[in-house]
Structure formats: structure tokens, C-alpha cells
């Protein structure tokens, strides 16, 4: 069969910040690439259109899909961009009879509620074992009720086949079919220049309890691939695509000390001269880990600092001691590893005072070289969403229009006396506050060259205008 897998260009919705989005957030869609690899193993012909990487409009995606004449169309969608998946499927439905399948975090969380008429099948949760079964079902018309985790319609009624069991041995999942992606389109700025990269994952699941995190697809139980298979994947990427920079998309790169040490050792033994980056918790790094990662090629690590206010941290269940951030940033500076700290504004318990406390910490800490901010989003299915719905901690959910559930330039909760508009203004000021420190500009210049400075200046001017015209309230 012919299978078309589609990922809409989500940052096209970011208006003026679209260029930033494209530059920093165009990653290979690992989900579609894994499903494609599974389908190819079953002998199918697969095409992936990554509209984000190819900067392709929905209309063009429809045109190319129609020209391919697929037997199945698959689309993926996160909450704030789910409306794009709906638009795309609705347009396709107007011209094609082909079954359209939706999967990903949003449908997994909302199930029937998100199963719009434009979709014929919905995949709830991990699809690695059920997708090939489903393809056989489509090919032979066998009974679908034996395949778990699927929403479908029967006599106009939505049916659900029941929860799917998560894959236990994730070594059994094939490497993503990167040959179906335009691999030269994925670039990321680093302090060592712009790098052509791919993302990679060795684990699924996160054991922690942060109230804002959406963990419904992978759950809390952590499953890991063997370090050897990860290095095999890296080796195949290097030899097939000459790509030498890797972003580990795992929730916690250093959760298991022995694992990360083994992985670093194997990467070094393979002599691939790669660089890599990832994210973890500040209290999950120590000098032995940092030294091993630096030797293996680590050039950047991110931490979710979120807030320095202890009460806000307690409410959000950020169970990381505050002092860990200073220690970890210092350690990474010592090993010349870039360290990015992200903060979140508008969490329950936040006030002007708590946010200013965090900003002041960032402004004055010379150990922290890079930081950025996002506005807290209560994604459905999270504890934060439940709190906002119930009005706990002074929260009020303003809208359930999920297209507004983005992290920049939009806020969907009132937080105590902070209105959504206040939060947007604070976010703009945050950028100014963090980057008014001249010693932070050098990294920006090194990361993206002059163009990045121009883009950053544009963003700064936009922020200043926002403060000038809307800031006095
Ligand atoms: C890497 C990553 C990114 C990258 C790359 C995104 C990309 N191109 O894929 C970047 C940084 C760009 C990013 C951006 C965003 N992300 Co993100 N991201 C992740 C992360 C860490 C890994 C994603 C991944 O590759 N997983 C591996 C694949 C295999 O898993 P999967 O996508 O769930 O796919 C499986 C199933 O869901 C299903 N499936 C998925 N799609 C389909 C399609 C079909 C047809 C079928 C049959 C099955 C199927 O099968 C897959 C295999 O089992 C996850 C957290 C996590 N642990 O998964 C968050 C996560 C997906 N992101 C999230 C969010 C919120 C965002 C943003 C909205 C943030 C923002 N800027 O506003 C954007 C949205 C971008 C978008 N349009 O998808 C949330 C989603 C929550 C939600 N309710 O939707 C997550 C879950 C983080 C979290 N824990 O809260 N993200």
C-alpha cells in the first residue's frame, strides 16, 4: 500500500516570531519517521511531508498528497496545532476517499472529544505495535476490534478498542526512516556554529511529577534502549547523512548515571567525532557525568529552572533543590558546555513579586549565560489544567480554544491578579531583562551570526514597542 504521513508547518502560526520558530524549532518528526520505518518493514511504500521543514502550506500539502494517491493518510498533532491537523484532514476529505488516521499527544489525551468527523481512525497512545496490525486490517478488511488503542466509527457511532499496552522492549522499534525526510533542512544554532542535526531518543517515560507536563503517551515508567543500539543508530546517521550533531529528545538525559556513562563511553569508542545536546534536571548532573559527556561530544544542556520562588516550585512539584541550578551551570561553564535555563511564568502561586524574583536571579547570576521564558500552558490532561478548571491557587481558565495554548505571546490563564495580558507583557520584558546584560550577546552572535543579532534586535524592538504602547496599565 501507499502511505502518506503529514506534519503541518506549525510555526507558520507564530506571526512575526515565525522566523525564530523556524530557526530554532524545526526538528525531524520522529513519530512519523518511526511509523514510516515500521510500515516499510511491512513492505509498504511511504512518503513523509514535513511541512515545517519544507515550509509548505496546507494547500500545497493537500496537492502533493493527492498526487501521491495514497491508500492511507496519517497526521500527527500536538494540542495547540491540532486545528491544523483538522484543517488539513478536512481539505483532504473534500477531494479524496482515502482513510485518514490521526495520532499523537492531543488525541491520546482527549480521545473521543478530539475525534473530529474528518478523521476515520484515531490512535491513542503508542502506536509502534498497533500501526502494522492496523495496516494489515486496512489491506485485508479484517476485524479491527482486536487492535487496541483505536478509535473508529461503526454505523455512525464512535467505538474505542481499549487501552494499548506500552512497548516494553523499545529496542524492538526500528530506527526512524530518516531517508524519507529532507535531512539537510534540520539546522540548529549553537555556540560552535549552526549545525545540521537530527534528534534521537533512547528512553520513553518520565518518573517525575511536574504539574504542567503532559505524560499521557509515554507514562511514568521509564524504558530504555540499549546504549549499544543508540550508538548503532548514531553511526548509521553519520554514515548515511554525514550528520554529526544529535539532539537527545529524552525527558531526562542523565536520569540513570550508569546508563549515560556507558553511552558516553561507547560514543567515544566508536570515534565518530560527533557533538550532542539534551535536557535534564539540574540535580541529575555531577562532575563525573559532565566530564564524560564533554569528552563524548556534549556541547549544550538544558534545565527547566521554571521559578526561584520556593512556594511556586512546591506547587508545581518541581522537586529539584534550587541551589542545584547554580552548581550545575558553573560545572557546565567549567567544561565549556552551553547551558540553557528555561523559566515559566504564570504558574499557580505566581505574582509580580515571584516573577521579579526569578528575573532578578537571572539578571544577576553571571554563572547563568543563557535563559528563556515561556508562559505556563495548562495542556489538557495535566494537573495544571485540572487546577485551572477548578480555580485552585487563584487560577482561572480563560479559554479552551486550544490554538491559543502556545508558549509565546499568548496566555490562557488568569493567575491571581496577573491577567493574560500582564503575562504576555512580562514575557516580553523577560526577554529584555535577560538579554540587556551585554555579556549575554556574545553567545547570540556566535550561535547564529549577524542574522541572529538582527532577528534578536527585531524581537527586542517588538518587545520594547509592546511595553511602550501596552505596558502602562
Ligand atoms: C522533541 C519534542 C519537541 C520538538 C520536536 C517536535 C517534532 N518535530 O516532533 C520541538 C522542540 C520542536 C517541540 C515543539 C512542541 N512541543 Co514538544 N515534545 C518533544 C518531545 C520531548 C519528544 C517528541 C517525540 O519525538 N517523541 C517520540 C515519538 C515517537 O512519540 P510521539 O510523538 O508521542 O509518537 C507516538 C504516539 O503519540 C503515536 N503517534 C504520534 N503521531 C502519530 C500519527 C499517526 C498517524 C499515528 C498512527 C500514531 C502517531 O505513535 C508514536 C509512536 O508510538 C515530547 C515529549 C515526549 N516525551 O514525547 C514533547 C511534547 C510532544 N511536546 C509538547 C508540546 C506542548 C510542544 C509544543 C506545542 C510547544 C510549543 N512551542 O508551544 C510544540 C508543538 C510542535 C508540534 N507541532 O508538534 C507536549 C505535547 C502535549 C500536548 N498536549 O500536545 C509534549 C508531550 C511535552 C510534554 N510532556 O508536555 N517538541
Q: What is the mean pLDDT of residues 243-252?
A: 98
Confirm if 107 and 114 have CB atoms less than 8 A apart. Answer: yes
43-84 pLDDT, tens digit each: 999 999 999 999 999 999 999 999 999 999 999 999 999 999
- Is residue 158 scored above 80 in pLDDT? yes
Q: Whose CA is nearest to atom 87 of ligand 1?
A: 214
17-47 pLDDT, tens digit each: 666 667 778 999 999 999 999 999 999 999 9
pLDDT of residue 472: 38
Distance 131 CA to ligand 1 centre (A): 17
Q: Whose CA is nearest to atom 23 of ligand 1?
A: 249
- Is residue 136 scored above 90 in pLDDT? yes
Q: What is the position in ligand 1's atom list of the atom closest to the CA of 35?
A: 52
Among 24, 38, 217, which is best to mutate for testing ligand 1, by the most ligand atoms less than 8 A from CB?
A: 217
CATH for the 186-469 domain, from 3.40.50.300, 3.40.50.150, 3.20.20.70, 3.30.70.3040: 3.20.20.70
Distance 76 CA to ligand 1 centre (A): 9
- Is residue 447 scored above 80 in pLDDT? no
* Residue 306, C-beta contacts closer than 8 angstroms, at least 6 positions apart: 312, 313, 316, 318, 342, 343, 344, 347
pLDDT of residue 15: 65
Distance 104 CA to ligand 1 centre (A): 7
The grid coordinates listed for 396 are: 482561572
pLDDT of residue 459: 65
List the domain boundaries for the chain: 2-160, 186-469
Q: What is the mean pLDDT of residues 107-112?
A: 98
pLDDT of residue 435: 79
Q: What is the mean pLDDT of residues 355-382?
A: 93
- Is residue 454 scored above 80 in pLDDT? no
Check pocket membership of 277 for ligand 1, CB cut-off 6 A. Answer: no
- Is residue 152 scored above 50 in pLDDT? yes
Check pocket membership of 408 for ligand 1, CB cut-off 6 A. Answer: no
**Of all residues in the chain, what percent carry a pLDDT higher than 90?**
82
Check pocket membership of 37 for ligand 1, CB cut-off 6 A. Answer: no
Q: In CATH, what number does 2-160 get?
A: 3.40.50.280
Check pocket membership of 62 for ligand 1, CB cut-off 6 A. Answer: no
Distance 305 CA to ligand 1 centre (A): 21
Least-confidence region, from 5-14, 204-213, 270-279, 368-377: 5-14
* Residue 84, C-beta contacts closer than 8 angstroms, at least 6 positions apart: 8, 10, 13, 58, 77
The pLDDT confidence band at residue 395, using thresholds 50, 70 and 90, is very high
Check pocket membership of 50 for ligand 1, CB cut-off 6 A. Answer: no
Check pocket membership of 127 for ligand 1, CB cut-off 6 A. Answer: yes
Q: Whose CA is nearest to atom 40 of ligand 1?
A: 104
Q: What is the largest CA-CA distance in the chain?
A: 65
Check pocket membership of 123 for ligand 1, CB cut-off 6 A. Answer: yes
Distance 391 CA to ligand 1 centre (A): 28
Q: What is the mean pLDDT of residues 117-122?
A: 98
323-351 pLDDT, tens digit each: 999 999 999 999 999 999 999 999 999 99
**Of all residues in the chain, what percent carry a pLDDT higher than 70?**
94
State the Cα–Cα distance between residues 111 and 162, nearest whole angstrom.
11
Q: What is the mean pLDDT of residues 381-391?
A: 97
- Is residue 471 scored above 60 in pLDDT? no
Amino acid at each position: 500500500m501507499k502511505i502518506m504521513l503529514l506534519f503541518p508547518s506549525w510555526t507558520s502560526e507564530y506571526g512575526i516570531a515565525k522566523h525564530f520558530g523556524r530557526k530554532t524549532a524545526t526538528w525531524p518528526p520522529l513519530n512519523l519517521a518511526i511509523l514510516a520505518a515500521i510500515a516499510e518493514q511491512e513492505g509498504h511504500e511511504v512518503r513523509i511531508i514535513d511541512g515545517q521543514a519544507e515550509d509548505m502550506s496546507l494547500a500545497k500539502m493537500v496537492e502533493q498528497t493527492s498526487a501521491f494517491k495514497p491508500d492511507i493518510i496519517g497526521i500527527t498533532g500536538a494540542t495547540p496545532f491540532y486545528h491544523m491537523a483538522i484543517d488539513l484532514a478536512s481539505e483532504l476529505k473534500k477531494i479524496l476517499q482515502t482513510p485518514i488516521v490521526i495520532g499523537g499527544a492531543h488525541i491520546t489525551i482527549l480521545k473521543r472529544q478530539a475525534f473530529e468527523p474528518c478523521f476515520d481512525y484515531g490512535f491513542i497512545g503508542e502506536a509502534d505495535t498497533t500501526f502494522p496490525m492496523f495496516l494489515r486490517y486496512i489491506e485485508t478488511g479484517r476485524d479491527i476490534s482486536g487492535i487496541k488503542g483505536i478509535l473508529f466509527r461503526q454505523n455512525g457511532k464512535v467505538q474505542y478498542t481499549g487501552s494499548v499496552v506500552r512497548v516494553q522492549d523499545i529496542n524492538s522499534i526500528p530506527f526512524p526512516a530518516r531517508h524519507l525526510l529532507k535531512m539537510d533542512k534540520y539546522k540548529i544554532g549553537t555556540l560552535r556554529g549552526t549545525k545540521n542535526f537530527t534528534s534521537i531518543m533512547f528512553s520513553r517515560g518520565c518518573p517525575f511529577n511536574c504539574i504542567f507536563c503532559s505524560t499521557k503517551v509515554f507514562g511514568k515508567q521509564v524504558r530504555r534502549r540499549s546504549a549499544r543500539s543508540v550508538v548503532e543508530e548514531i553511526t548509521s546517521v553519520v554514515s548515511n547523512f554525514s550528520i554529526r550533531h544529535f539532539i537527545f529528545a529524552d525527558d531526562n538525559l542523565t536520569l540513570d548515571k550508569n546508563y549515560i556513562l556507558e553511552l558516553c563511553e561507547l560514543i567515544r569508542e566508536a570515534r565518530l567525532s560527533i557533538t550532542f545536546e539534551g535536557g535534564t534536571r539540574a540535580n541529575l548532573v555531577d562532575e563525573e557525568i559532565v566530564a564524560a559527556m564533554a569528552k563524548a561530544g556534549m556541547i549544550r544542556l538544558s534545565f527547566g529552572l521554571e521559578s526561584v520562588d520556593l512556594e511556586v516550585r512546591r506547587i508545581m512539584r518541581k522537586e529539584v533543590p534550587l541551589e542545584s541550578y547554580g552548581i550545575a551551570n558553573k560545572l557546565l561553564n567549567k567544561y565549556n558546555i552551553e547551558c540553557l535555563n528555561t523559566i515559566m511564568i504564570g504558574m499557580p502561586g505566581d505574582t509580580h513579586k515571584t516573577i521579579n524574583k526569578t528575573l532578578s536571579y537571572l539578571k544577576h547570576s553571571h554563572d547563568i549565560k543563557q535563559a528563556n521564558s515561556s508562559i505556563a500552558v495548562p495542556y489538557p490532561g495535566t494537573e495544571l489544567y485540572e487546577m485551572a478548571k477548578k480555580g485552585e491557587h487563584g487560577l482561572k481558565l480563560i479559554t479552551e480554544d486550544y490554538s491559543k495554548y502556545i508558549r509565546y505571546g499568548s496566555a490562557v490563564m488568569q493567575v491571581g491578579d496577573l491577567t493574560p495580558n500582564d503575562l504576555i507583557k512580562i514575557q516580553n520584558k523577560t526577554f529584555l531583562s535577560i538579554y540587556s546584560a551585554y555579556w549575554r550577546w556574545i553567545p547570540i552572535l556566535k550561535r547564529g551570526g549577524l542574522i541572529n543579532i538582527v532577528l534578536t534586535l527585531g524581537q527586542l524592538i517588538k518587545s520594547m514597542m509592546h511595553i511602550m504602547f501596552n505596558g502602562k496599565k
